Amino acid sequence: MATFCSSLDYRMVCNLFAIGFYKPYAGISKPPTAVSQRQAPALNSRDLKSAAISDSLRLLEWHKVVDLVSSFSGTHLGREATKAQLSSTIELTYEESKIRLEETSAAMELIKCGSGMLNFSGIDDILVKSAINQACKGFPVTGLEAIAIVSLIEFTENLQATVEAAVKEKPGWLNRCMPLYEMVMNASVCHPLVKMVEQVINEDGSVKDSASYELRQGRERVRILERKLYQLMEKLARNDKNDSLSLEVCNINGRWCIKSMSNQPAKIDGLLLSSGLGAGDLIEPIAALPLNDELQHARALVAEAEKDVLSQLTNKIKIELGSLQSLLDMITQLDAVTARAKYCIEYGATYPNFFLPGEIIKPTTDEGVSIGTSNKVSSSHLQREWKLYMPKAYHPLLLQQYRENLENAKKSLANAASDLRRKKMHGKSVMMEDIDSHIEHMKVRISQLERSPPVPVDFAISAKTSVVVITGSNSGGKTISLKTVGLASLMSKAGLYVLASEPARVPWFDAVYADIGDEQSLTQSLSTFSGHLKQISAIRSNSTCHSLVLLDEVGAGTNPLEGAALGMSILESFAESGSFLTIATTHHGELKTLKYSNHTFENACVEFDEESLKPTYRVLWGIPGRSNAINIAEKFGLSQAILSKAQKLHGKSSGEINEAITKASPRFVNGKRKGRQA
């Protein structure tokens, strides 16, 4: 590296100084300056770390995974709780993460028992929360709110009964469900409250006639008065009826009236409530005034009686507020845990063998696992110590998108077929040739999707490796590989299984830092290159020996020579700082050589099929990638003269690097790259 870095110029030193990797004034309290400058208020270290983590989560699109998992919740509060818990994942300790994983496993066991015991769709948690708030403020609850409370209590009772029965039938099942067993069985339910609500509230939320003597009497009086008024209105309307006049009995704001359906005035003594062209007259007959007034009074008494019943019910609820709030909190928490479990089941996720960095983890399976090749892994291979081991790992958002596309395609086909049947049944003429062609096209689309699922990536990083350098062609899957590792680490820390095959080994990271994509910032006058430097500087300052660092296209965005030197300096700095694991992608071939001067480095590459000129999206471990631009140009028929000159312009240094790799790596045989089992 000494020879290579001798080409650094003044601009290179400025870049290194800017991100903190080069400190010429180390040990001096204040560097010399000619002009005093006003310093902007500096953020404290905690704010800087929080900003770096927040930027990393955004770049990894963690919020999309959060939204996806929360969609499996059955209640509104459960969805909000799931989002809140997953969004605060980075704050979890190792022990808290282990507890979450145990909860998820327990919920999966409960779901497997069937009976729909964890189906929360029948709970209206918003109404329950509203009832609790109303009772706290001393306001009467509504009938619907009381019914929602009963549904919550009955759901909990049924859940407790089902869990208890399952424990009796399967004694060994209790240990697997213990984290949630205690949560469910310790929930307090108030049977007297349920009985009281059922005595006074109908299923539709209305107060029962039998709720009180005053209410029963009042409603009976209302029914009698309404019957008398209707009969009176009918009699008045018949007496005034003629061939040219149409009258209608109606109820306006609780008062019985007669409405003329024509422009001819009605000959009825009463109060004219409204009159207009085309609308007719609205009249409250004089004879009906006393009965209407009495009816209004009777209804007011009924409303007061209903309020008294609900007030008594509210007083009972106030006594149980503590247990109701605890019950609602338990159901909300259980719904959030169940959402994680349902997501894991739906996507076929695998339990991650979770461990704290520094612990020794060995694969225990006797089965071979293919890593980067199609060959089975030897038994001696299985005894290696792994820092990260995830065979056939999927990017969760890519898998979600694929499943949604396939599901939408199948729905479109079903809708098209259903529409065709409906048209035939109604005798409508259809162009069968066009429809058959359209349906056939849909079937082909579905077949193509089914044959082209996302390609999983194998990860096998040995315990001695601190920095992995992934090289290879554009669009070959390097960035997706970085995001897959980052999201899998966050998922396991959040209490989710990972989308990989067994056995998965994932360390607990105190933080996942990422510098991925275009970080140009117009508001801060930062170029893409400067934006990357700013993020890398923040990562370098805050990462620890328990951190995961993901750097995409390290050293890109500037002069290739300088960028390669800067990339080498950055990666060596992370290796020396003791960060638990750094994974970087790059196009700079010089970074491949770091492995041969530092045993903590490892090479990997995304595979490229030189016959089809397409990437395979597979990652090969222990193998440095190489550029395929000239080979691709030759395949497309570019003249030999251009290719020869391009080969010369490619540079002597590049040839020396490849030659050094070839000599140093036993994985190259006769100048050809040979894949290895990780």
Enumerate the domain spans of the chain: 48-208+308-349, 213-292, 402-421+440-453, 457-652
Q: Examine the pLDDT at 133 and tell me if it is beyond 90.
A: yes
Residue 432: the pLDDT is: 61
From the CB of residue 503, how many other CB atoms can be counted at a distance below 10 Å?
21
Which DSSP state fits 42? P
Q: Which CATH class is domain 457-652?
A: alpha beta
**Mean pLDDT for the stretch of residues 87-114:** 91
- Higher-pLDDT residue of 578 and 371 is 578
Distance of CA 563 to the CA centre of its chain: 36
Residue type, 53: I
Residue 11: the pLDDT is: 42
Q: Examine the pLDDT at 428 and tell me if it is beyond 70.
A: no
Q: Examine the pLDDT at 464 and tell me if it is beyond 80.
A: yes
Whole-angstrom Cα distance, residue 204 to residue 104? 36
From the CB of residue 416, how many other CB atoms can be counted at a distance below 10 Å?
15
Q: Which two tokens stand for residue 544?
A: 């620890």
- Higher-pLDDT residue of 578 and 202 is 202
Return the HEC string of 145-184. HHHHHHHHHHHHHHHHHHHHHHHHHCCCHHHHHHHHHHHH
Distance of CA 315 to the CA centre of its chain: 40
R_g of the chain computed on alpha carbons: 37
Residue 402: the pLDDT is: 93
DSSP per-residue letters across 410-448: HHHHHHHHHHHHHHHHTT----HHHHHHHHHHHHHHHHH
**Mean pLDDT for the stretch of residues 214-233:** 93
pLDDT band at residue 628, thresholds of 50, 70 and 90?
low
Contact by Cβ (8 Å): 134, 318: no
Residue 634: the pLDDT is: 67
- Higher-pLDDT residue of 407 and 237 is 407
- Higher-pLDDT residue of 52 and 529 is 52
Whole-angstrom Cα distance, residue 436 to residue 413? 11
Helix (H, G, I), strand (E, B) or coil at 29: coil
Give the bridge partners for 207, in sequence order.
201
Give the bridge partners for 620, in sequence order.
605
Residue type, 110: L
Whole-angstrom Cα distance, residue 609 to residue 493? 36
Q: Which two tokens stand for residue 269?
A: 């003594």
Q: Examine the pLDDT at 360 and tell me if it is beyond 90.
A: no
> For 663, phi and psi rounded to 5 degrees?
-70, -35
Residue type, 223: R
CA-to-CA separations, 416 to 406, 422, 425, 431, 438, in angstroms, rounded: 15, 10, 14, 13, 9
Q: Examine the pLDDT at 610 and tell me if it is beyond 80.
A: no
Pairing relationship of beta strands 255-260 and 280-285 according to DSSP bridges: antiparallel
Q: Examine the pLDDT at 31 and tell me if it is beyond 60.
A: no
Q: Examine the pLDDT at 281 and tell me if it is beyond 80.
A: no
pLDDT digits (tens, 9 = 90+) for 41-80: 555 677 888 889 999 999 999 999 999 999 999 999 999 9
pLDDT digits (tens, 9 = 90+) for 565-581: 888 999 999 998 877 89
Q: Which residue has the tokens 């085309």?
A: 278
Residue type, 11: R
CA dihedral 467, 473, 477, 479 (to 10 degrees): 50
What's this model's pTM, rounded to 2 decimal places?
0.81
> For 462, phi and psi rounded to 5 degrees?
-70, 160
Q: Examine the pLDDT at 639 and tell me if it is beyond 80.
A: no
Residue 375: the pLDDT is: 31
Whole-angstrom Cα distance, residue 272 to residue 257? 10
Q: Examine the pLDDT at 441 and tell me if it is beyond 90.
A: no
Give the bridge partners for 15, in sequence order.
none
Tell which residue, 45, 18, 23, has the closest CA to residue 537. 18
Q: Which two tokens stand for residue 556?
A: 């890109």
Domain 48-208+308-349 = CATH 1.10.1420.10: yes
Lowest-pLDDT range of 245-249, 321-325, 332-336: 245-249
- Higher-pLDDT residue of 627 and 269 is 269
Verify cis geometry, omega within 30 degrees of 0, for the bond prior to 290: no
**Mean pLDDT for the stretch of residues 224-249:** 79
Q: Examine the pLDDT at 675 and tell me if it is beyond 70.
A: no
**Mean pLDDT for the stretch of residues 587-591:** 82
pLDDT digits (tens, 9 = 90+) for 245-279: 677 888 888 888 888 776 666 667 778 777 654 55
Q: Which residue has the tokens 């496993």?
A: 105
Which DSSP state fits 379? T
Lowest-pLDDT range of 72-81, 125-134, 576-585, 603-612: 603-612
Q: Which two tokens stand for residue 56?
A: 């990393």
Q: Examine the pLDDT at 336 and tell me if it is beyond 90.
A: yes
Residue 521: the pLDDT is: 44
pLDDT band at residue 630, thresholds of 50, 70 and 90?
low
Distance of CA 415 to the CA centre of its chain: 29
Residue 514: the pLDDT is: 94
Pairing relationship of beta strands 467-471 and 601-609 according to DSSP bridges: parallel
Helix (H, G, I), strand (E, B) or coil at 609: strand
User: 48-208+308-349 with 457-652: one CATH topology?
Assistant: no
Give the bridge partners for 471, in sequence order.
605
Residue 28: the pLDDT is: 35
To the nearest whole percent, how much of the chain has pLDDT over 90? 42
pLDDT digits (tens, 9 = 90+) for 413-422: 888 888 777 7
Contact by Cβ (8 Å): 230, 285: no
**Mean pLDDT for the stretch of residues 336-353:** 95
Whole-angstrom Cα distance, residue 407 to residue 419? 18
Residue 678: the pLDDT is: 34
Whole-angstrom Cα distance, residue 553 to residue 532? 10
pLDDT band at residue 304, thresholds of 50, 70 and 90?
very high
Whole-angstrom Cα distance, residue 472 to residue 461? 18
Distance of CA 261 to the CA centre of its chain: 59
**Mean pLDDT for the stretch of residues 221-235:** 91
**Mean pLDDT for the stretch of residues 91-113:** 92
Contact by Cβ (8 Å): 247, 260: yes
Whole-angstrom Cα distance, residue 580 to residue 483? 17
Lowest-pLDDT range of 63-72, 197-206, 644-653: 644-653
Distance of CA 479 to the CA centre of its chain: 20
Residue 417: the pLDDT is: 80
Highest mean pLDDT among 339-353, 373-387, 506-520: 339-353
Q: Which residues contact 75 (CB under 8 A, 6 or more apart)?
A: 120, 123, 125, 331, 332, 335
Q: Please state, rounded to an integer, the average pLDDT across all residues of the chain.
A: 80
Whole-angstrom Cα distance, residue 526 to residue 320? 58
Q: Examine the pLDDT at 166 and tell me if it is beyond 70.
A: yes
Angle at 498 between CA 494 and CA 500, to 5 degrees: 170
Lowest-pLDDT range of 84-88, 344-348, 425-429, 517-521: 517-521
CA dihedral 57, 63, 69, 75 (to 10 degrees): 130
Residue 663: the pLDDT is: 55
Tell which residue, 494, 576, 372, 603, has the closest CA to residue 60. 494
Angle at 179 between CA 178 and CA 185, to 5 degrees: 70
CA-to-CA separations, 640 to 428, 628, 635, 651, in angstroms, rounded: 64, 16, 11, 18
Q: Where are the beta strands (DSSP E) in 207-358?
A: 247-252, 255-260, 270-276, 280-285, 352-355
Tell which residue, 580, 579, 583, has the closest CA to residue 603. 583
Angle at 101 between CA 95 and CA 102, to 5 degrees: 90
Q: Examine the pLDDT at 385 and tell me if it is beyond 50.
A: yes
Q: Examine the pLDDT at 6 and tell me if it is beyond 60.
A: no
pLDDT band at residue 622, thresholds of 50, 70 and 90?
confident
Pairing relationship of beta strands 280-285 and 352-355 according to DSSP bridges: unpaired
Q: Examine the pLDDT at 25 and tell me if it is beyond 60.
A: no
From the CB of residue 478, how many other CB atoms can be counted at a distance below 10 Å?
26
Residue 650: the pLDDT is: 63
Residue 42: the pLDDT is: 53
Q: Taking the chain, what is the end-to-end CA distance rounded to the nearest angstrom?
A: 27
Q: Which two tokens stand for residue 323?
A: 């247990």
Task: Report the helix count and the strand count for the chain, using DSSP H and E.
Answer: 21, 16
Whole-angstrom Cα distance, residue 512 to residue 535? 13
